[in-house]
Chains A and B, each alone.
Chain A
Amino acid sequence: MPEIEFRQAIRDAIGEEMSRDDSVVLIGEDVGAAGGVFQVTRGLHEQFGSRRVVDTPISELALAGTAFGAAISGLRPIIEIMFGDFMTLAMDSLVNQSAKYWFLSNEQSSVPLVVRSAVGPGGRFGPIHSQIHASWFMSVPGIKIVAPSTPADAKGLLTSAIRDDNPVLFLEHKRLYALKGDVETQVVPIGVAATARTGTDITIVTAMKSVHDALAAAETLAEAGIDAEVIDLRTLRPFDLTTVLDSVSKTKRIVVVEEGPRTGGWAAEVLASVVEHRVGSLQVAWRLAMPDIPLPYSPPLEDAFLPDAERIATSVLQRLGAESPRARATT
């Protein structure tokens, strides 16, 4: 089984779907000749030509609007909005046109398009090149939001997203682009979470880069005698509540880890749904997110914001009333 980078898994999914289906087109800023600012789409322009891999001006609104119009006319556009932060510029078309068309038209047509963006903090990009726009779209019916954590899921989920008849936001965490992993030839369904680690004492629910942090934290917790289950949501909207509830039924404890501001985030939605369904049997439920302050640039300042492996472990130990192994070692 080939081990490939996360970015190549994305490139392979796009290339294979374009080979399979002539209605799939790739449109975006610098995606063609330049291969994308993160080199995700490198080589696709040479392979498919400028008819199918289209470089655009810096016009996010035109990009999203063009994708909408093309998607209701028989194409399956994949557009790249370079950084998730730039989604503000494309929002009218996505929220008021693409997301609502299936409903508004009384189901005359849906809008099969994919919007890819690089997202996430930790790259020293500052406050307006590090945001994860998922939370802005959580309250928009008609939109799906996919957020993979591994190369295999990136490929399998992007394949599903391209074949999906609805608008899908596809989130590519910048700090995962170089991650290598085995990639099976398996399509991964949207809306299905993965249990990345099984455990009995606490459920850690998260996505993207934080899945890896949660897995590292789980090792630390294991040393302290806490057996954590880690759930990789993979899809944030609609998310797999069943898998989360099944896990919480077992552990009675849940923490949701989000690399975004605490207020109004997707983690809040996950927690609210869990509380609605399991309030009587829950012992503890909380969020580990970032402060409600724009993300600072300077490395020590940015690092202080991130819910990394150590913070996840510490937060769980504090909530569960245990002593951290590190604290024990130093006494």
Chain B
Amino acid sequence: MTTESAGVGSVGVTRFWTATADLEDDREAAVGLFRTMAFARRFEETTQSLFLRGAIYGSTHLGAGQEAVSIGVCSVLQPQDRVAATYRGHTTCLGLGISPVGLLAEMMGKGNGISAGRSGSMNIISLEHGLIGCFGIVGGSIAAATGVAFALKYQGKDGVAVAFFGDGAANQGYFQECLNFASIQALPVVLICENNQYMEFTATGAVTAGGILPRVRALGIPAEEVDGQDVWAVREAAAQAVARARAGKGPQFIEAQTYRYSDHARGDPINYRPDGEMDAWKARDPLLIARSRLMSMYGLAEAEVNALVESANAQVASVRAEATAAGFPVPGDFGSEFRETAVASDA
């Protein structure tokens, strides 16, 4: 197992890179996965708390309930791989080892945010961590990853590009256009559909004809469904998909079934879910499943698992304190709309 510590800020999370999908003999990696998910859960609770207190502005899109998908996928990637995430991307950022202080500070509009307060929650970019961006337009991540995969293949590099997107993106033009192009070009792109059952306030099934996977298979792209609540299952499927893409077998598609605990965003009336649905999904909470795995497969005692959660919570508290204490950027230097280019005058 190789690890890398986070960049910005004094409080970091660790990104896990493991050689195989098989965690059976790698207790440390299994513990790390659980801890990253626990960290992400508390991070989103903190985001919500700060938002309700008026310290995070505009809108937020929380990933609580969906941790196993993004963290599971990120855990099988290699340093040369690239990720395009969505506006619901905080958990993906943490899964890639991006500084939680830089992330939270960016949401709070602070000067030490990842983009110095320019982007906010929906558009986080950290190239040094392989994150080409969180994309604020539904489906935008698919196109970005398709282009990155085109470049990786063109350059003969070993990397793959991963696109995260929601179920709602399956009804976007980006989806059909890019999957078709990626398929005919055999691009090394891994498409992760986080199906959290709702596209904004509307049940996906009510507005999606024929299901998502048949569309993908019709384009000649291998596609499989996975239990998005089980980080082990996600890892296994992702590792195989990434390996196939890396081996030149073209785009690979995973539809991970999961559930969004929060409302879509600020202003969501939350009146559209059937009674009992949330409780049924929470009975299969990704942290609960991972917790029981740690105890049954790796022999951790309950107290040890609780200690992991407590340490993650304490770490998030430090992140919150550090981001809260940071200063706002000073208006004045907004930079240039263009990158300065020195064009040689010879032909």
Interface residues of A (CB under 8 A from B): 16, 25, 51, 54, 56-57, 59, 61-62, 64-75, 92-93, 96-97, 101-110, 141-142, 144, 156, 159-160, 163-166, 185-187, 189-190
Interface size on B, residues (CB 8 A): 50
Q: Which residue of B lies closest to A142 (CB)?
A: B337
Take A62-B178, A93-B140 as given contacts and tell me if A165 and B339 are in contact as well, using a CB distance cutoff of 8 Å: yes
Q: A74-B151, A106-B114 are in contact. Are A62 and B174 (CB under 8 A)?
A: yes
In addition to A97-B143, A104-B119, 15 A-B residue pairs with Cβ atoms within 8 Å of each other are A57-B184, A61-B177, A65-B143, A65-B178, A66-B143, A67-B147, A69-B145, A69-B147, A73-B148, A75-B155, A93-B143, A97-B140, A105-B125, A109-B127, A187-B345
Which residues of chain A have C-beta atoms less than 8 A from B178's C-beta? 59, 61-62, 65-66
14 CB contacts below 8 A, A to B, read A56-B181, A57-B181, A59-B181, A62-B180, A75-B150, A97-B135, A103-B335, A104-B115, A105-B125, A107-B335, A144-B338, A164-B343, A166-B338, A187-B344
Verify B146–A66 contact, CB threshold 8 A.
Answer: yes
**A73–B125 touching, CB < 8 Å:** no
A103 to B123, CA, bound (A): 11
Chain A residues, CB < 8 A from B151 = 69-70, 73-75
Q: Which residue of B lies closest to A185 (CB)?
A: B347
Contacting A at CB under 8 A, from B171-216, are 173-174, 177-178, 180-181, 184-185
Q: Is the Cβ of A70 less than 8 Å from the Cβ of B177?
A: no
The CA-CA distance from A103 to B339 in the complex, in Å, is 9
What is the CB-to-nearest-CB distance from B125 to chain A, in angstroms, rounded to a whole number?
4
A163 to B345, CA, bound (A): 10
Query: Which of B146, B181, B337, B341 is the one whose CB lies under 8 Å from A103?
Result: B337
Out of B149, B339, B347, name the residue touching A110 (CB < 8 Å).
Answer: B339
Task: Determine whether B241 belongs to the interface, using a CB cutoff of 8 Å to chain A.
Answer: no
Contact of A96 among B127, B132, B137 (CB under 8 A): B137
Q: For residue A159, give the distance in angstroms from its CB to the closest CB of chain B.
A: 7
Q: Do B154 and A51 touch across chains, with their CB atoms under 8 A apart?
A: yes
Q: Is B244 interfacial (CB 8 A cutoff)?
A: no
For residue B6, CB closer than 8 A to chain A, the reply is no
Using known A-B contacts A65-B146, A74-B155, determine if residue A96 contacts B343 with beta carbons closer than 8 Å: no
List B113-145 residues whose CB lies under 8 Å from chain A.
114-116, 118-119, 123, 125-127, 132-133, 135-137, 140, 142-145
- Cβ of B180: which chain A residues have Cβ within 8 Å of it? 57, 59, 62
**What is the minimal beta-carbon distance from B68 to any residue of chain A, in angstroms?**
26
Task: Please determine whether A69 and B174 come into contact, CB atoms closer than 8 angstroms.
Answer: no
Contact residues, B327-347 vs A (CB, 8 A): 335, 337-341, 343-347
Q: Are A72 and B174 touching (Cβ within 8 A)?
A: no
- Contact flags B86-124 to A (C-beta < 8 A → 1, else 0): 000000000000000000000000000011101100010
In chain B, positions 302-316 with a C-beta closer than 8 Å to chain A are none
In the complex, the 10 A-B pairs of residues with the closest C-beta atoms, listed nearest first: A69-B147, A65-B143, A73-B151, A62-B177, A110-B339, A59-B177, A185-B347, A106-B115, A105-B125, A66-B147
